A and B are shown apart, each in its own frame.
Chain A
Amino acid sequence: MPDRNPVVDLANISTRLMAGETADHALKATVVFGPGEVQDEEGEHRFTVVATRAFLKVKPEGMTTCLGSELGNDDGLVVAKEKKTVKTSVGVEGTVGAELDLAVADGVPIKPTLAGSAKGAYSAEREFTQERSLPAVKYRGSEMWELCEPSENGKERKPLNRPLIGGRVLLELEADTASNRRTAHSQLSVYQRDLDFKGGWLNCLSRNQKKLFGILAAKTLTKEPALYSGTVVLASSEVGDGDA
């Protein structure tokens, strides 16, 4: 079965079912994202679309997922490391003073004064570096992966604009002996809220208009707009063991 990529410039997927190392089959995938551009015939309306987060869902048929084989646990997927250095210092400062008074009899008062002080300071500096992996591909369970560029502040998402997964094994599958048809259906989808629309023409619209334009565009991208429910399937792929 061929890969189906109706918006190949925005996102496309390609999967292959191979013989697995530890199981019967291994599903390999490549997902590529980029900005998609749209303009009307007159060139008056022009805008670009990028996805900021997508979900990849795999549905095996006639096969069972080998638990623990899902992509997302290995270090190979680490695309960025956040380094945080924390410095702490401890300081102690003290002063010690002494005074001596002497008075001698025989009417001669002698009052020598002895004063002294000592100052001591101690400080220690500790430094430790904390490293945190920020993967772009996160396994979310139930054969589903979240694809999202790591962001520094954790709030604003960056656009997806590069190949991800890169032909790695998504998961390994054991064949069900009772079934004679073995396929793996993969679907790449986004929520409307994760599509970012930009363009000079859109700047002429108010915020409310821009937001509703985004929904209108997402509906247009849906195969059946009447069934639209906030999710857009960007690409899908189906492979069977006969294709291997």
Chain B
Amino acid sequence: MPEGFLQDHFDAGFFGAADQAFTDGTTNITKLARRLAFDPKRDFRYADLTGVDFSESDIRGWDFTGADLRGAHGIGVKMDDDPLIDGADVEGSLFALRAERRALLLRHPELRPEVNRRASMYWSDAALWTDDQLRKSGPVTLEKAALVRAVFSLMTVPDSRAAMVPFMGRALAGKREYHDFLMHLFASDGVSGHVGRNAVMQLSQNFRDEPGAFGVLKRIALDVRHDGILRRWALEGVLASCFFSDAVTDIMQASVELNEDGRRAFVGAFAQRFGKEAHEAVKSASGKYLDLPLRLTYDKAMKLAEGSLSREKREYGWRDAPPAFSDKRAEGKKGRAQVIVEHLERLQEAGLPITFASDIALLFQTDEKRPETQKRDEDRRNTGGVILQDLTAQSG
């Protein structure tokens, strides 16, 4: 082992292998591991796998001993009932419920036969047993709740698992338990059916600021194979999450696959990060957010300004509230259009895909040359009386 620098260890072959593995944008962990010729029994030990998405991967037999798996998540993951996670950090991950079961059975080895037996129950028995544990047989103790969670985490038959779900609320006293339960549910059963829908809604409303839950929501929002309502709920969670910035690039790449409502909501959330004024600038005349891809013309900018002014008058006119824009120019229609365009330019620089028509420059010219359409409209408005007189004269 000669004395050397880090640089000396990385040759063209290393970068070639990396390029070859990553070039087509595949993110499936199983595929990537295979391409890189990883040995799943050794190479993931003590690995940094925080926030990794295991969706649609087969990680059976993989050794995660000592790995950092915080926030690791996935939808439809093939995994072992008892994964190799000794010494691993599994907080908020798809492994958390399994890890909890392991800890419980280490503390109470006498429960192992019962957990194993219950885990293979027929669906009707599963429902009755869960109901009995959590409702009929007295108050729910921590031990009882932990036992039910342990059985659920080991249950391999999807029908039996689904039969337990409606009763599980009582076994999930804390927010952490609920989150881990949902992460387990997504990994085992995906998002199909009524249970999946409720789970997405719960995740979107209550857990969107958890890294693992955010990963699941992002995955659902951008995957066209899921139905529209599910994707909308998921997208709402993504847009309102504190991790929204992490998803901007992915959402923009997938924006063509989002529906109109989704695209508009994304524009609103994107602008909100740049303050109140930028948020106001992306509102259309009707008050909705602008759609992508956006091409801004002179006429459109003036309409935005008109809409913004009337909104301001409607919403704030009657009370002593600050104006929507602090810039003095924004008091007039043209000035407001200028301010709006400047905000949109800043958003464009930040990555929002906006294009400006060439006539937008006219907004900033002192000797204004109005576009033909607007000129015609205004001329018509101004000469309306004359035309009416002519018509009266003709009819007379």
Give chain A's interface residues, CB within 8 Å of chain B. 4-10, 36-41, 45, 49, 191-195, 205-209, 211-217, 219-221, 223, 228-231, 236
A228 touches B43 (CB 8 A): yes
Q: Tell me which residues across on chain A come within 8 A of B33, comparing CB atoms.
A: 212
* Assembled-state Cα–Cα distance A217/B6 (Å): 10
A5 touches B17 (CB 8 A): no
Q: Size of chain B's interface in residues, with CB distance under 8 A?
A: 41
Residues of B contacting A: mostly: loop
A215 touches B44 (CB 8 A): yes
10 A–B contact pairs at CB < 8 A? A37-B7, A193-B66, A207-B27, A208-B29, A217-B10, A220-B10, A229-B42, A229-B46, A230-B42, A230-B46
Pick from A49, A221, A229: contact of B45, CB below 8 A.
Answer: A229
Closest to B51 in A: A207
Pick from A41, A193, A211, A223: contact of B12, CB below 8 A.
Answer: A41
Q: Tell me which residues across on chain A come within 8 A of B357, comparing CB atoms.
A: none
Is B9 part of the binding interface, using a Cβ–Cβ cutoff of 8 Å? yes
Q: Which B1-41 residues have a C-beta within 8 angstroms of A?
A: 1-10, 12, 14-15, 17-18, 21-22, 25, 27-29, 32-33, 36, 38
Closest to B70 in A: A155
Closest to A45 in B: B15
Give chain B's interface residues, CB within 8 Å of chain A. 1-10, 12, 14-15, 17-18, 21-22, 25, 27-29, 32-33, 36, 38, 42-53, 65-68
Residues of A contacting B: mostly: mixed
Q: Tell me which residues across on chain A come within 8 A of B42, comparing CB atoms.
A: 228-230
Pick from B5, B15, B22: contact of A205, CB below 8 A.
Answer: B22
* Assembled-state Cα–Cα distance A209/B33 (Å): 10
Pick from A38, A49, A194, A215: contact of B38, CB below 8 A.
Answer: A215
Q: How far is the CB of A88 from chain B (nearest CB, A)?
A: 29
* Assembled-state Cα–Cα distance A212/B40 (Å): 12
Q: Tell me which residues across on chain B come within 8 A of A37, comparing CB atoms.
A: 6-7
Q: How far is the CB of A61 from chain B (nearest CB, A)?
A: 19
Pick from B10, B18, B66: contact of A230, CB below 8 A.
Answer: B66
Q: Tell me which residues across on chain A come within 8 A of B1, comparing CB atoms.
A: 4, 6, 223, 236
B65 touches A230 (CB 8 A): yes
Q: How far is the CB of A214 from chain B (nearest CB, A)?
A: 6
Q: Tell me which residues across on chain B come within 8 A of A211, comparing CB atoms.
A: 47-50, 52
